[in-house]
Chain A
Amino acid sequence: MQDVAEQPSAIRWYYEGLGQNVFRAVSCRSCGKLTFPPTGCCEHCGSWEVEGVELSGEATLLYATHNITPACHPRFETIAPYVYGHLRLREGPIVQAIILGVEARPESLRALFERGPVPVKAETLTMEDLPVIAFRLAG
């Protein structure tokens, strides 16, 4: 096994991809599962034998709510209130992220809930100091 200290940073690699609208995970050679967002070892079995993979960015939005108080980092104040969703990536992992394309109002969220699961597509939210992953309602 490669010395852990010599492994390239999965985190840097993820953020570099995110800045270019490319969405990355790591795949485990031991158990075959994906870790997203990527870390140096597999979050399922703990193996360090992982390799980078590119994701399709396609997902299914399962549930969406909103927040009248944004996440704690000040960068999120500029977009609050926003919609936040529970998603299943096409490749399998369950993810939570900002949702674009629906208003952060109870009426809009209710209409979305009544539609049931809907397709979404990942895109990079360009914020002042850091790219942030988001998903937009398809169509």
Chain B
Amino acid sequence: MAVNQAYGVPQGYDIFSTYNGLVALGYCRKYGISIEDYDRGMFELCRTRRLHGSLNPKANIQETLEDRAAAKGFTDAFDYWRSDAHNPFVAWPSRLLSLVTTADGASAMVLTRADLARGGKSQPVEFKGFGISYSDLPWYGEDPTHWEFDRRAIDAAFGMASIGPADIDYLHTHDCSHISGLCTAETIGYLPPGGGLDAARAGRLRFDGDRPMSTHGGRHAFGHAWGASAGSDTYEAVLQMRGKAGARQIPSPPEISVIHTHGYAMIGTVVVLGGL
């Protein structure tokens, strides 16, 4: 089904948040996860995103979820999360705070030949591989957790860079919805299938966890400026690899970083960075 002038907007297919409500339901049914456990996992993932945002002076949201809850009079942040007044279901079972925060922004990257990069003012990072693939709506087939065009982009990038999932030290996935970002991490093999929510609850996705993700705060806390976001995601990976990410620095600076982004309706792009 195509997102195009003939059918996309006229037939009302253009409802981003709803697609991710469907992904959430597909994820819960596929892995036997209760709606309650899903909600708790999304809460924990939001905590991590906003923790990262609180450690990033450039993030749009720099208030932790716990501070936000306290400011609204809640002693338990999960009660705040489950409050329909503060965090309604926008596409059941996905809540408002599981989604993107829109932002204005701009980004740029400088690419040059490897021989010119050495000896510069900044530690260079190698662009080791990339993959890109396209799709129309629906973005997924019968299984909403599997996005075939992402699979193709991942395989192309990893093949070019000669890496596998076990080589990844830092991963950014396009996380304008928390659940789709986890699904992509599982497709990549950075997280086990169906294990994303447990990883979030265990703190493994934090900057100081063993599977760090989206350390700038992700689309929710850092914000999403659409076309500019792939650049800011890459910038964050480069900062981490240089050991210059400040308070949110991954303790052992990553040697291999993977950045996955989506362009709307729908383009999957995967970039692999490594030390030069």
Give chain A's interface residues, CB within 8 Å of chain B.
Answer: 11, 36-37, 39, 43, 62-73, 75-76, 84-86, 88, 93-98, 106, 109-110, 113, 130, 132-133
Contact = CB atoms under 8 A, between A and B. Distances in A.
Contacts of B2: 37, 39, 43
B136 A71 contact: no
Contact of B138 (A11, A96, A109): A96
Given A69-B15, A72-B9, A95-B138, 16 more contacts: A11-B7, A63-B29, A65-B21, A65-B91, A67-B21, A67-B90, A68-B89, A70-B15, A72-B15, A73-B10, A84-B22, A85-B22, A96-B138, A97-B11, A106-B89, A133-B11
A117 B141 CA distance: 15
Interface of B: 1-2, 6-7, 9-15, 17-19, 21-22, 24-26, 29, 35, 88-94, 136-138, 140-142, 144
Contacts of B7: 11, 37
17 contacts: A62-B26, A62-B142, A63-B25, A63-B26, A63-B29, A65-B22, A66-B91, A67-B21, A67-B91, A73-B10, A84-B22, A85-B22, A94-B141, A97-B11, A106-B89, A106-B92, A133-B11
Nearest to A107: B92
A62 B107 CA distance: 40
A63 B17 contact: no
Contacts of A94: 1, 138, 140-142
Contact of A63 (B14, B137, B144): B144
A62 B140 CA distance: 13
Nearest to A117: B29
B92 A71 contact: no
A96 B14 contact: no
A86 B89 contact: no
Nearest to B88: A68
Given A65-B94, A106-B89, A110-B92, A73 B12 contact: yes
A66 B18 contact: yes
A8 to B, nearest CB: 14
B88 A84 contact: no
B25 A96 contact: no
Contact of B13 (A64, A71, A88): A71
Given A86-B138, A94-B142, A130-B10, A37 B1 contact: yes
B91 A36 contact: no
Contacts of A70: 12, 15
Nearest to B28: A113
A86 B15 contact: no
B14 A72 contact: yes
A37 B3 CA distance: 11
